[in-house]
Amino acid sequence: MSTERSTGVARTWRGFRSHKLAVAGLVVVSVVTVVGILAYVDDAYLGNELITTLHYSPFEPKFMPLQGPSLAHPFGTDTLGRDVFSRTLYGAKVSVQVALTAVIVAAVIGSPLGVVAGYAGGYVETVVMRLVDVLLGFPALVLAIGLVAALGFNLTNVIIALGIVYVPQFARIARSTALSVSNEEYVDAARGMGYSTPHIVLREVLPNCVSPLLVQASLLMAFAIIAEASLSFLGLGVQPPTPTWGQMVSTGSGYLTTAPWISMFPGAAIFVTVLGFNLVGDGLRDALDPRESGERRF
């Protein structure tokens, strides 16, 4: 079994790396993730000594406000005299943390619900999917705003809100995949051998629903970054002085004609990161789908 799994992983990687743009997207995502992890470690355990030693503190307003990009300040300074480059780097911390944890929360809740609904059918499926339909009845960002307003404006509540918002996407995909997998011969064989329903769901059905869920997760990470930036732009996300890309775009929105760099560089960071996750998702979809692997190339 382990040999077959490793062979499948190798085959998927060969299919993925044949898509040049997908590999470029993976490089972008990897760089942003590493920067976000370093920023988190520096902020949580090193007292921001790492970024202060290498460049400037993202928190201290110690320079002339509204300086344009230069060798000393590649991205310029903001309205308070803080280095925009350092703040853009530290903004990756929040975006990566929200993207990873919110999608994990949604996957952990939504995937089992969808699999159980698809396999069990009947009353269980009706109840689960109607609850999913209720959540889908609200626009994602509006629902996130309502949940954050109810829970409070901090990083943990943003993650919880976005995790809840994205549960329906995982549940629907897991259900549709489980409906197909439940009719496979190996599932019938497991039933015939007398295995319990939990065993069949966890050991036979759920593992074979992983591929489409992985693709959905990579795409939803992009949406989570946009949603977090939107909440921060509206002042409903992580509160100052913690730098976030959406908050920086909001701060610079009043200076677009005189100091466009305040919004331009964090906006570009959002664009490039979201594009990277989308390219990775497209590459995973084609690599994991044998019907696509020979037909589509970037």
One-character DSSP codes across 246-285: HHHHHHHGGGTTT-THHHHHHHHHHHHHHHHHHHHHHHHH
Q: What is the pLDDT of residue 7?
A: 61
Residue 13 lies in a domain: no
Degrees, nearest 5: CA angle 147-253-153: 20
Full domain range(s) for residue 45: 18-57+80-293
Separation CA 298–CA 282 (nearest Å):
10
DSSP 77: B
Residue 271 lies in a domain: yes
Residue 260 lies in a domain: yes
- Flag whether the pTM goes above 0.75: yes
Residue 239 lies in a domain: yes
Q: What is the pLDDT of residue 34?
A: 96
Residue 298 lies in a domain: no
Q: Check: CB of residue 37 under 8 Å from CB of residue 96.
A: yes
Q: Check: CB of residue 136 under 8 Å from CB of residue 168.
A: yes
Q: How many domains does the chain have?
A: 1
Q: What is the CATH number for 242? A: 1.10.3720.10
Q: Average pLDDT of the chain?
A: 89
Residue 1 lies in a domain: no
| Mean per-residue pLDDT, 245-252 | 95
Best CA proximity match to 164, nearest among 115, 205, 220: 220
Q: Which two tokens stand for residue 101?
A: 């944890």
